[in-house]
């Protein structure tokens, strides 16, 4: 029984190695503060651990499950009233430990990253801007509309059209 | 809100940009809209790839905290299916019993619940495509120093270097002096008949197809040796339509460096 537990944790550690850079990187991009990003990443991995048995492959890949969770938790963090207070408290600690984890897969292959960048480049400026604000900045579409002074339905259409173009450019199976 | 509006919401939904009340309305609509559900799933896969651009290696403290936390955190039980299932041997389910019908190399829930002891190992390992030990080069014939075939050349080469994939099983043995690489593909789940694994060599961002992997696509281990070209530094596997593709269909599901 103990060996099984060890095996499980070893398996989980492999998952951590495969996803840590993406999870931490996205959290960092959204919440910005490295300490808070680290806390969000902790929450995400803990939730993956707790909910692993309920992951439903029929509804999408593990990657999309994990990244959807990461995005949601990061946005929650930004929006929580607590965040501002925490941020002040954490700033002092931010520089205490910044040695990076060499075991974690450094990044996606250059190929995959380049493909995403190239495909983002095929969007219209407005599509790219809207998607970037929504995803990497964690804004709702209403906030995006406010920022870009565009009508709400226009933003929705832009987000959807932009994703269709991205999806087809990246060759994501549908 | 009209149905047409709800159709448009899939984009904002996938990007996590819908306020809660609207997200709930879309969620309800999805129950009855198959095309919306499919579109949302495709968008979510697309959006997940956006995170590749912002990937950033975390500090080591994150690993320590996470591993310490899971050690003292209980896991939720799976949502049980009521039908009883016969007991199965408590062997290593991940390696010997890959899933049969899934696009993303993930073990479906219905196959895990029978084996609670191995549950998380199976689940988590499946998430990263296999998860067992790297299989070494001992399967290769290393005896014949005068070997002529690329296989034997690689196996005997003094400069051969073995690397493990970024995640999952298998290994890559690269011998610059032979201009060839031997790739051991193990532990990939079998694919539906209309799909195949395809092996690529990448020189930076430039892909070159090495071969299709019919045995691996059927869930078996497969060992292939292929010539490499100067500048190639990575081998990768993607899932392609039967017959293969001229360029890789993302995402890359398995990759290993050529040489250390």
**pLDDT tens across B46-69, in order?**
999 898 888 888 999 999 999 988
- What does pLDDT average to over chain B? 74
Q: What is the pTM of this model?
A: 0.61
CA distance from start to end of chain B: 57
Confidence of residue B147 (pLDDT cuts 50, 70, 90): very low
As assigned by CATH, the class of the B154-257 domain is mainly beta
| Residue B58 Rama label (left phi>0; alpha psi -120 to 50; beta) | beta
Give backbone dihedrals phi and psi of B224, rounded to 5 degrees, phi first: -130, 145
Cβ contact (<8 Å) for A59 and B207? no
- In total, the C-beta contacts within 8 angstroms joining chain A to chain B are 321
Q: Per residue in A95-154, pLDDT tens?
A: 444 455 555 555 555 677 888 889 999 999 999 999 999 999 889 999 999 999 999 999
Provide mean pLDDT across the span B188-211: 88
B136 has a pLDDT exceeding 50: no
pLDDT value, residue B144: 37
Torsion of the alpha carbons at B232, B237, B242 and B248, rounded to the nearest 10: -50
Confidence of residue B78 (pLDDT cuts 50, 70, 90): low
User: Would the CA dihedral through B33, B38, B42, B45 be positive or negative?
Assistant: positive
pLDDT value, residue A161: 96
Confidence of residue B138 (pLDDT cuts 50, 70, 90): very low
Provide mean pLDDT across the span B230-248: 88
Cβ contact (<8 Å) for B57 and A8? no
CB B19 within 8 A of CB A167: no
Q: Per residue in B162-176, pLDDT tens?
A: 888 877 788 888 888
pLDDT value, residue A84: 60
Provide mean pLDDT across the span A78-104: 54
B215 has a pLDDT exceeding 50: yes
Q: Three-class SS of residue B67? A: helix
B251 upstream amide cis, omega within 30 of 0: yes
Q: Which residue has the tokens 């929705």?
A: A156
Q: A138 to chain B: nearest residue by CA?
A: B17
B3 has a pLDDT exceeding 50: yes
CB B204 within 8 A of CB A110: yes
pLDDT value, residue A7: 53
Q: ipTM beyond 0.95? A: no
B233 has a pLDDT exceeding 60: yes
Task: Please give the residue that has the higher pLDDT: either A5 or A167.
Answer: A167
Strands (E), chain B: 161-163, 171-175, 180-185, 195-203, 206-213, 222-227, 234-241, 254-257
User: Highest mean pLDDT range out of A17-21, B108-112, B150-154?
Assistant: A17-21
Chain A residues touching residue B237 (CB < 8 angstroms): none
A70 has a pLDDT exceeding 70: yes
pLDDT value, residue A101: 56
Give CA–CA dist A172/B47, Å, rounded: 10
Give CA–CA dist A45/B124, Å, rounded: 11
Provide mean pLDDT across the span B118-127: 48
**DSSP characters for A73-122?**
HHHHHHHSTHHHHHHHHHHTTTTS---B-SSS--SS-HHHHHHHHHHHTT
Cβ contact (<8 Å) for B109 and A25? no
Of B18, B167, B248, the CB nearest to A141: B18
pLDDT value, residue B46: 93
Q: What is the CA radius of gyration of chain A?
A: 18
Give CA–CA dist B188/B126, Å, rounded: 9
Of A53, A70, A99, the CB nearest to B78: A53
Q: Comparing C-alpha atoms, which of A105, A109, A135, A107 is closest to residue A120?
A: A135
pLDDT value, residue A94: 44
Q: What is the distance of C-alpha B4 from the center of its chain?
A: 36
Confidence of residue A2 (pLDDT cuts 50, 70, 90): very low
- Tell me how crowded residue B76 is: count the other CB atoms within 10 A of its CB: 12
A53 has a pLDDT exceeding 90: no
Q: How do the domains of chain B map onto residue ranges?
A: 1-53+113-141, 154-257
Q: Which residue has the tokens 């014949």?
A: B144
Give CA–CA dist B90/B107, Å, rounded: 16
Interface test with B, best of A108, A121, A128, A143 (most B CBs within 10 A): A108
């Amino acid at each position: 029984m103990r060996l099984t537990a060890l095996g499980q944790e070893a398996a989980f550690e492999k998952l951590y190695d495969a996803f840590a850079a993406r999870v931490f990187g996205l959290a960092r991009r959204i919440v910005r503060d490295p300490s808070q990003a680290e806390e969000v990443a902790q929450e995400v991995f803990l939730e993956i651990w707790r909910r692993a048995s309920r992951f439903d492959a029929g509804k999408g890949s593990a990657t999309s499950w994990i990244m959807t969770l990461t995005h949601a938790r990061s946005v929650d963090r930004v929006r929580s009233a607590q965040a501002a207070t925490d941020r002040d408290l954490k700033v002092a600690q931010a520089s205490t430990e910044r040695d990076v984890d060499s075991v974690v897969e450094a990044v996606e292959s250059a190929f995959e990253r380049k493909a995403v960048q190239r495909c983002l480049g095929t969007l219209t400026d407005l599509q790219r801007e809207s998607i970037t604000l929504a995803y990497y900045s964690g804004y709702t579409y209403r906030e995006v509309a406010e920022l870009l002074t565009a009508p709400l339905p226009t933003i929705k259409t832009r987000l959807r059209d932009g994703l269709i173009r991205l999806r087809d450019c990246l060759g994501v199976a549908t | 809100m009209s149905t047409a509006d709800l159709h448009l919401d899939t984009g904002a939904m996938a990007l996590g940009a819908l306020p809660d009340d609207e997200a709930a309305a879309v969620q309800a609509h999805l129950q009855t809209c198959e095309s919306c559900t499919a579109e949302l799933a495709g968008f979510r896969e697309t959006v997940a790839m956006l995170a590749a651009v912002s990937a950033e290696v975390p500090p080591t403290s994150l690993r320590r905290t996470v591993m310490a936390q899971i050690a003292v955190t209980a896991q939720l039980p799976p949502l049980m299916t009521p039908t009883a299932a016969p007991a199965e041997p408590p062997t290593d389910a991940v390696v010997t019993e890959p899933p049969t019908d899934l696009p993303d190399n993930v073990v479906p829930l219905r196959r895990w619940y029978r084996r609670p002891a191995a549950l998380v190992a199976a689940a988590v390992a499946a998430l990263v495509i296999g998860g067992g030990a790297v299989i070494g080069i001992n399967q290769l014939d290393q005896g014949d120093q005068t070997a002529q075939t690329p296989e034997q050349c690689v196996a005997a080469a003094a400069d051969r270097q073995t690397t493990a994939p970024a995640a999952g099983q298998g290994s890559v043995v690269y011998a610059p002096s032979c201009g060839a690489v031997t790739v051991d593909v193990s532990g990939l789940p079998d694919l539906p008949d209309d799909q195949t694994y395809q092996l690529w060599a990448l020189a930076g961002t430039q892909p070159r197809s090495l071969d299709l992997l019919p045995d691996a696509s059927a869930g078996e281990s497969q060992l292939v040796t292929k010539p490499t070209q100067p500048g190639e530094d990575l081998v990768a596997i993607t899932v392609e339509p039967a017959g293969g593709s001229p360029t890789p269909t993302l995402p890359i599901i398995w990759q290993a460096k050529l040489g250390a």
